[in-house]
Amino acid sequence: MTPTTRLAAKLHRRVCFVLVDDAVLAEELLARKKLAAEVAGRLSDRVLLIRPGRSAAVIDELKKMGHTPQVVGK
Amino acid sequence: MDSTDAKQSSWSSRIERTLNSYSESLLQTVSDTLVKPRTKLPIPAVIEKCLATLGNPPVIDRRIKDLPEAARMVLAAVSRSGQPQWGVGHLVSLSATLGHPDGVEPVRALFLAGMAFPITKEDPREIWDFDLWLASAGGVRAQVFVPPVVAERARVVPLEVLAVESESLPGNGRETDGLDWPLRLATAWQAVSAEPVRKTLAGLLFKKDRGRFDPVGLFAPPDSTHSPAESGLLSLVWAEAAGLLKQEGETLTAPPFPPIWDGPLFPLIADLTAALFQLQTWDPLVGVTEAENPVPAFPTAMLLTLLLVASAPPDRWVSPAHVAMWLWEHHPGWQGGLTKEAARRHGRPWVDTVLFGLAHPLGLVDVYPRPDDPPVRLSPLGQSLFANGPEPAAAPVLPQTLLVQPNAEVLAYRQGLTPSLISLLSRIAAWKGIGPACTLELTQEQAYRGLESGLTVAEVLQTLARHSTRPVPPAVDDLLRRWATKRERVTVFSSATLVEFGTTADLDAAISRGVVSIKLTDRIGLTADGKEPDFRHLRLTGNRDYESRPFPCMTVESDGVTLVPDPATADLLLEPEVLRIAEPIPGDPPGVRRYRMIPDKVRASATNGTGLDNLDEWFQIRSGSPLPAAARLFAAGPNARPARVEKLVVLRFPTPEVTDGVCQWPITADRLADRLGPTTVAVDPEDLAPLVEALNRIGVQVEQFHGAVE
């Protein structure tokens, strides 16, 4: 592969997800019923996909749980 | 381009946009007064000439001189306010107060002379006539603006009509540092930043939010003896007028501090004072009003109060009683808005509140310490703003003004507080007390908001260290770092662009080229800020927008249970959704991914989860076809009525037409158990004989299959 080769890629735009430090923390978040309802799926053990348009609700719920989430792309 | 040039350019564009909205004849009329052209010019040239004239101070001076007396007085008064935007009703009121009760005539004169301009909508309709525009823009509620370049020249026009008695007194008066109100406005910003304020459809506050701004604690007035009514709500509406708060829909939010807070105190006080003249829903004695009066007296009466004090020579003192009496005799709308008690004293409490409760804490006036009827005079800052005095020299600032204590409390001595330090502290620490020395507390919530606003923990610590009289205690340093680390444990990307590569090797290559920097899975990555990657390195094979409605990206095979996502169009949400009802089929070749529906999962999804209708809708969205029959079978499961084993005789007719007739004729139809196909029907063995007999009667022969009926 030469450096100029373009890499085939598919874009997923305007995706909302939560990236956590470790898998245990992801489990902890999923155990929260209100938060789990907003999770559309798990992309990996540390990445939770959020239903479109529900980021504000997720941030609120995380704060209620005592977390101070870093929000990217406000 | 420096900020002054940028501001000038912004005003020029605004004037140009307004002139473009004038009809040709109106533009010619304005140009005849403003430019006085010798020949008729095309429209673009006329506008260009108007803009050039407004950039020529000596010509502006001549045009101001040519204005009718009433218009010149009004222009001179509003130009001293520092506020370029005024309501027509206020200008009419000012004109009447200054001795020219000519209605909107002075405003019209200012328009026609090009010294003021109507404020139009973004996409204005053409303005043919100023009277018609006034009527359509809300009459007295219509807004106009005076370009700063005009105001700069008009502010030196004398206002002889404004004159009150003054006295000479020995010694100096009490001065203030001007920080009281900026601190309260910063506190209002912090309160809204912590929890936005909601407004009703009528623009009023809900009771819960009003309670947050009660005039106690941080929102207590600077001078309790001359307390402006509802000082907490004043801080809120004032902060909004000064651009510290912003209304988005029905919610008041706290955007970043305006750039003026990065500079010295003097321009900030000038800006906040100018913002006061924009308050339409607050009165010093009544508090927040419901904006029932389209032309409240506060903006003009406040301006006139300061201009009356400014009318005295700089070293002489003015009694508020004289100011009140002048307003009482001249201002047409002021008396009517006073409370009964204030009206009984000819408005004196109103003037006292404005001078001692607002202007003095802002540092605009000094107060002579006479217990009985203390007089006031403009401070050097007030002289500069309202009496064309020189700009006062900035007071020396003590950079080390904070004391960070091990319990995370911060003591801030006011001698060293600057607007930029106030704004920075408001972002990282919670205000606890405003007094000669202010107190703040470093809390996790406020530190979190500070970090979310773009600060880094290193910047916070540097700020504290730079302004502290002693080193930041290690415990506080550790606390801030721990809060920052905790914040980094959970990251919410609210609207990111993920890049999905075909292979892990491609993702690794993209990371090495810097196309993406975070690896989410073995094939998916994203940039550090979640924004679009550099497309020069990518060949796009698909593109999905997750806030748009999903479209079909999956097919259902003919067996009704095998689901095949289309790799080019499938989104990341599809697989988690599919896994609720199906499992991957093992053994598929690389690049092919299929799923098979599992009866138990489908049933669980239909009964416990989304429901059969939602499942059907999901199939419609994701595959473009309804829920397959097999899935319905799985969903029905134990709830379906039990099947029954029956013995029936099958009768096959030669053509579908004959079968249709048999099914329709009541004599034969009553004997049929079911129609099985185009030419076949099922018959109960007991009904066979009567059916055959009926058919025979009409000439239809039935070949009896031997053994059909036992």
- Check if the beta carbon of residue B155 is closer than 8 Å to that of residue B64: no
Angle subtended at Cα B619 by Cα B616 and Cα B620, rounded to the nearest 5 degrees: 90
Chain B: residue whose CA lies nearest to A17: B493
Q: Taking Cα atoms as reference points, which of B347, B357, B354, B341 lies closest to residue B326?
A: B347
**For B353, phi and psi rounded to 5 degrees?**
-65, -45
CA-based end-to-end distance of chain B: 106
Other CB atoms within a 10 A radius of the CB of residue A6 amount to 11
The pLDDT of residue B609: 60
| Cβ–Cβ under 8 Å, residues B345 and B282 | no
End-to-end CA distance of chain A: 37
**Which pLDDT band, with edges at 50, 70 and 90, does B484 fall under?**
very high
State the helix-helix crossing angle for B57-66 and B69-79, rounded to 10 degrees. Answer: 130
The string of pLDDT tens digits covering residues B431-480 is: 999 998 999 999 999 999 999 888 999 999 999 999 999 999 999 999 99
What would the mean pLDDT of B529-534 be, rounded to a whole number?
Answer: 90
Which residues have CB under 8 Å from B241's CB, separation 6+? B275, B276, B278, B279
Residue B557 in this model has a pLDDT that exceeds 80: yes
Task: Sort out which chain B residues have CB atoms less than 8 A from A7's CB and list them.
Answer: 501, 506, 509-510, 515, 537-539
Strands B490-501 and A70-72, by their bridges, are parallel
The Cβ-side half-sphere exposure at B194, using a 13 Å CA radius, reads: 18
In the predicted model, what is the mean pLDDT of chain B?
Answer: 90
Per-residue pLDDT tens digits for B194-230: 999 998 887 788 988 889 999 889 999 988 888 999 9
Q: What is the CA radius of gyration of chain B?
A: 40
Cβ(B161)–Cβ(B98) below 8 Å = yes
């499992």: which residue's tokens?
Answer: B583
* Structure-block tokens of residue B652: 């096959």
What CA dihedral angle connects B53, B58, B63 and B64, to 10 degrees? Answer: 130
Distance from CA of B601 to the nearest CA of A (A): 16
pLDDT single digits (tens) B595-620: 999 999 998 888 876 688 888 988 99
Beta-carbon separation of B496 and A17 below 8 A: yes
Q: What is the dihedral of CA B658, B659, B662, B665, to 10 degrees?
A: -80
Euclidean distance between CA atoms B146 and B35, whole angstroms:
17
Q: Which of residues B219 and A2 earns the better pLDDT score?
A: B219
Report pLDDT digits (tens) over B381-411. 999 999 999 988 877 778 889 999 999 999 9
Q: Contact B483/A68, CB-based, under 8 Å? A: yes
d(CA B597, CA B635): 11
Please indicate whether, in this complex, the C-beta atoms of A42 and B547 are within 8 angstroms of each other.
Answer: no
Locate B705 and state its tokens. 């299959």
| Structure confidence by residue, pLDDT tens digits, B82-122 | 999 999 999 999 999 999 888 889 999 999 999 999 988 76
B525, B519 contact by CB (below 8 A): yes
d(Cα B187, Cα B157) in Å, to the nearest integer? 38
Distance CA B386, CA B303 (A): 9
Strands (E), B76-163: 85-87, 117-118, 143-145
> Half-sphere exposure (CA, 13 Å, Cβ side) for B592?
8
Q: Are A58 and A18 in contact (CB under 8 A)?
A: yes
Lowest mean pLDDT among B49-63, B90-104, B235-249, B282-296: B282-296
What confidence category does residue B42 fall into, taking pLDDT thresholds of 50, 70 and 90?
confident
| Cα–Cα distance, B12 to B663 (Å, whole number) | 87
Show the tokens assigned to B664: 């329709």
- Counted residue by residue, chain B has a size of 710
Contacts of B655 (CB under 8 A, 6+ apart): B679
Beta carbon pairs, A and B, within 8 Å:
176
Residue among B489, B498, B502 minimizing CB distance to A25: B489
For residue B539, the chain A residue with the least C-alpha distance is A8
Using DSSP's 3-state secondary structure scheme, residue A72 falls into strand
Would you say B125 and B90 are in contact if contact means Cβ atoms under 8 Å apart?
A: no
Contact B671, B693 (CB under 8 A): no
Task: Tell me the pLDDT band of B124, cut-offs 50, 70 and 90.
Answer: low
User: Do B337 and B129 contact (CB within 8 A), yes or no?
Assistant: no
DSSP-assigned letter for residue B535: G
Pairing of strands B85-87, B251-253: unpaired
The closest CB to that of A12, out of B487, B518, B546, belongs to B546
Q: What is the pLDDT of residue B673?
A: 92
SS (H, E, C) B17-73: HHHHCECHHHHHHHHHHHCCCCCCCCHHHHHHHHHHHCCCHHHHHHHHHHCCHHHHH
The Cα angle at residue B605 between residues B602 and B607, in degrees rounded to 5: 105
Q: Do B498 and A74 touch (CB under 8 A)?
A: no
Contacts of the segment B256-260: beta carbons below 8 A, 24+ positions apart: B256/B453, B257/B186, B257/B189, B257/B423, B257/B426, B259/B3, B260/B419
Q: Tokens for A29, please give them.
A: 């978040």
Interface with B, mutate which of A1, A2, A11, A45 (most B CBs under 10 A): A11
Q: Is A71 on the interface with B (CB under 8 A)?
A: yes
Rounded CA-CA distance B615/B621 in Å is 10
Q: Is B455 exposed, middle or buried (0-12, 13-18, 19+ CB in 10 A)?
A: middle
pLDDT at B126 over 80: no
Query: Per DSSP, what are the bridge partners of residue B499?
Result: A11, B525
Q: Measured between CA atoms, how close is A47 to chain B, in angstroms?
A: 7
> How many Å apart are CA B531 and CA B497, to the nearest integer?
6
Rounded to the nearest angstrom, the minimum Cα separation between B528 and chain A is 9
Q: What are phi and psi of B556, to 5 degrees?
A: -110, 125
Q: What is the pLDDT of residue B122?
A: 64
CA distance linking residue B403 with residue B401, whole number of Å: 7
At B321-361, the pLDDT tens digits run 999 999 999 999 898 888 888 889 999 999 999 999 999 99
Single-letter amino acid code for the residue at B511: I
B2 pLDDT more than 90: no
**Cβ–Cβ < 8 Å for B375, B309:** no
Please state, as a whole number, how many other Cβ atoms lie within 10 Å of the Cβ of residue B169.
15
For B59-84, write each residue's pLDDT tens digit.
999 999 999 999 999 999 999 999 99
Residue B123: which pLDDT band, with cuts at 50, 70 and 90?
A: low
B249: left (phi over 0), alpha (psi -120 to 50) or beta: left
* Token reading at B572: 């990341």
CA–CA–CA angle B78, B83, B87 (5° rounding) = 70
Transcribe B678-696 into DSSP letters.
SSEEEE-HHHHHHHHHHHH
Closest partner residue to A7 (CB to CB) among B529, B537, B547 is: B537
Let me know how many helices (H) and strands (E) chain B has, helices first.
31, 25
Confirm or reject contact between A41 and chain B (CB < 8 A): yes
Q: Collapsing DSSP states into helix, strand and coil, what is residue B501?
A: strand
Yes or no, beta carbons of B497 and A11 under 8 Å apart: yes
Average pLDDT over residues B543-553: 86
Nearest CA in chain B to A22: B489
**Per-residue tokens: B271:** 């800006």
| Cα–Cα nearest to B112, from B42, B29, B54 | B29
Q: How far is CA B259 from CA B242, B268, B415, B423, in A?
A: 12, 10, 22, 10
Q: For residue B490, which residues of chain A lie inside 8 Å, CB to CB?
A: 18-21, 25, 29, 62, 67-70
Contact A9 B513 (CB under 8 A): no
Report helix, strand or coil for B451: helix
Tokens at residue B317, please? 């003192």
Task: Retrieve residue B298's tokens.
Answer: 């506060």
The total of other beta-carbon atoms located within 10 Å of residue B228's CB is 24
Is A55 at the interface with chain B, CB within 8 A? Answer: yes
Q: How far is the C-alpha of B697 from the C-alpha of B627, rounded, in Å?
A: 47
Tokens encoding B41: 């010019």
To which residue do tokens 């003095």 refer? B360
Of B445, B494, B509, the CB nearest to A7: B509
| Whole-number Å distance between alpha carbons of B39 and B56 | 20
Min CA distance, A29 vs chain B (Å)?
10
ipTM above 0.85, yes or no: yes
Q: Which residue is closest to A72 within chain B, CA to CA? A: B493
Strand partners, B82: none
Q: Model's pTM, two decimal places?
A: 0.79
Residue B250 and residue B241 in contact, taking contact as beta carbons nearer than 8 Å: no
Do residues B376 and B355 touch, judged by C-beta distance below 8 A? yes
Asked if residues B236 and B213 have their Cβ atoms less than 8 Å apart, the reply is: yes
pLDDT-derived band at A49 (thresholds 50, 70, 90) equals very high
With CB atoms and an 8 Å threshold, state whether A6 touches B539: yes
Residue of B nearest to A29 (CA): B490
- Quick one: pLDDT at residue B1? 47
What mean pLDDT do residues B8-23 have? 87
How far is CA B286 from each of CA B283, B354, B356, B371, B398, rounded to the nearest angstrom? 5, 12, 16, 26, 39
pLDDT at residue B707, rounded to an integer: 58
